[in-house]
A = this chain, B = another copy of it.
Amino acid sequence: MTDRESWQLCCPVILEDNFERIQLAHGEGARASRRLIEEVILPRFGPAREFSDAASVDTSVGRLAIATDSHTVSPLFFPGGDIGTLSIYGTVNDLAVSGAVPRWLTLSLIIEEGLPVRVLERILDSAAQAAVECAVEVVTGDTKVVPRGAADGLFVNTTGIGELVASAPAGPSAVREGDQVIVSGPIGSHGIAVLCARGQFAFETTPVSDSASVLHSVRALLNAAGDNVRCVRDATRGGVSAVLHEWAAVAECTFELTDAYVPVTDDVRGACELLGLDPLYVANEGTFVVTVAPDAAAEALAALRGVSQSHEAAIIGTVRARGICPVTSIRALGTAQPVDEPSGAPLPRIC
C-alpha cells in the first residue's frame, strides 16, 4: 500500500484532489463542491455568472412563463443526444409551445457518487452547447451528490423562465369541429432510440432521437397562423396519443387521425412492429402536435415545412364532434378504430 493509498483510506471525505470520479464531498457545499462548480460547471456556462444562492435577471415584459422538468433518462447517452441536451431542449420546448421566448434556465444536478467526472463534463458540454443554440442563459444551479446506489448515475432538473411577448395559443378549450391536426415531423424516434441504447435490442439501422429545440418551428408556426393556432404541445411521455387525449378531455371533441398520414420513419416503424408498440404512444423530444383552424392549416403546414427541424410536418387528422372515443384512427381498411389513452408507458425512463 502506498502512502497515498493509506492516506485515502484514513481520510475518505477530503479526497477531492483525486478528481476523476464524483465523491460525496463534491455535494456538500464546501471546498470540494466549490471546486466542482468552479472547475467543471461554471466554465461551461459563462464565467461572468456566479452560481450564488439566487441569480437576478431583468425582464423587459411583465408576463412570464415558467416550466420545470426533471430528467432521469437511462442510459445517459443515446443516439441523437444525452441527458444534457435533453434537459435543455425539454424545458426550452415546454416554454416554446406555450408561446414564450425562453430566456433563463436553472440547472440542478443530483449525481451518484462514483460518476466519472469526464462523463459529467461531456454532459455539461452538451447542455452548454444546447443552451447557446437556444439563446437561453443558465443563471443558477445546484449540485447534490448522493451515495452509490441512492441514485442512478445522474438526474438533471432544469427550470425555465420565458417572456410572453406575444399572445400565446388559446389552448385546447378553443378547439372547434373541423380544426386540423398537424405533427411537426416523424413520430416515435426518441423512445425507440433510447430503448435501442439500452442494448437489449439490435436493429439493422438504429433510430436517432428527435431530441432538439422546437423554438424556430413554433415561432414560424405562430408567425404564419397566429390566432388560428388553437394549441401546441410537444409530444413527450405518452406520445401523440397522450397529448390528443388531454386535449379531447378539455375540448370535449374527438380527434380523428388517418393512420396513413402519420409520419413514421422506416426504422422506427420496423422497431415498433417487432416490439409490438404503436408509434402514437412512443415519446418524442423535438416533435410537437398542433391544432389549427381549418382555413389556416395549409399556411401553418407550409410555415413548419420551411424550417429544417419540421420539414416533414404533416396534417394527420381532423377534429370531429365528440363520438364514443376521444381519439380514433382510420386504419388501412378505412374504418375508424379507437386510440386508447395510454395508462402507463411502454418504455419507462425515456426522458
Contact = CB atoms under 8 A, between A and B. Distances in A.
Most buried by B among A95, A157, A242: A157
A344 B94 CA distance: 37
Contacts of A213: none
A240 to B, nearest CB: 12
A238 B345 CA distance: 41
Contact of A25 (B68, B100, B108, B344): B344
Interface in A3-54: 13-16, 23-34, 52-54
The size class of the interface chain A forms with chain B is 35 or more
A70 interface: yes
Contact of A30 (B26, B53, B108, B344): B344
A152 to B, nearest CB: 4
A74 to B, nearest CB: 7
A170 interface: no
A57 B68 contact: no
Contacts of A330: none
A276 to B, nearest CB: 13
A278 interface: no
Contacts of A237: 27-30, 33
A139 interface: yes
A70 B142 contact: yes
Given A53-B233, A54-B162, A28 B238 contact: yes
A32 to B, nearest CB: 5
A309 B226 CA distance: 52
A67 B94 contact: no
Contacts of A104: 66
Interface string A106-120: 111110000000000
The 8 A-B pairs at the shortest CB distance, nearest first, are namely A29-B237, A25-B344, A28-B345, A159-B159, A68-B106, A30-B342, A54-B67, A13-B344
8 contacts: A30-B238, A53-B67, A53-B94, A54-B66, A54-B97, A70-B110, A72-B150, A147-B348
Given A59-B59, A66-B161, 17 more contacts: A25-B345, A29-B283, A30-B238, A30-B342, A53-B94, A54-B65, A54-B100, A55-B67, A56-B98, A60-B62, A68-B107, A68-B141, A70-B108, A72-B146, A108-B159, A150-B151, A155-B155
